[in-house]
Structure 1
Amino acid sequence: MKKQEINNLSVAELQAKLGELTNQYAELKNAHAISPIANPLQLRTVRRAIARVKTELSKKDLQ
């Protein structure tokens, strides 16, 4: 997810996206623990997307 896409979302949409990304990360992590996934860089991209969403949520909470 790009920064511009995240900036345009509302707080409710950001929270929904955060839950979705967290579930996706947990599934990837479990799949990788059982057998190596084809593209392990997916873990990094999802983790960074989670961080971007959390950052935007905290920015909107401060406003």
Structure 2
Amino acid sequence: MNMKTSEIKELTTKEIVERIDTEKENLVRLRLNHAVSPLDNPLKLKDTKKNIARLKTVLRQRELSENQN
């Protein structure tokens, strides 16, 4: 599932942290499955990593804006 940045910004900080954990677990599972037998769509690995990066970016932006206040 590919998330847009606008969708991520609507989530609460707690939801973002939970989503990061879920996506990381999903990535590990995908990598293990891919090592055993090739995935039907290997781009899922790339999409999952990008989702994690988007989530972390929004989380970091929130941390920085809180520190400025």
**Do they superpose with TM above 0.5?**
yes
- Residue 25 of structure 2 is matched in structure 1 by 23
Is 2:7 aligned against 1:5?
yes
- Residue 61 of structure 2 is matched in structure 1 by 59
Percent identity among equivalent residues? Answer: 35
**TM-score normalized by the length of structure 2:** 0.89
Pick the structure with greater CA Rg. Answer: 2
Q: Which runs of 5+ in 2 are unaligned?
A: none
State the aligned residue count: 63
Question: Which digits, 9 at most, give the CA deviation of each residue in 1:4-59, with x for residues without a partner?
Answer: 11011111000000000000000001100111010000000000000000000100
Q: What RMSD, in angstroms, separates the aligned Cα atoms of the two structures?
A: 0.5
Q: Which runs of 5+ in 1 are unaligned?
A: none
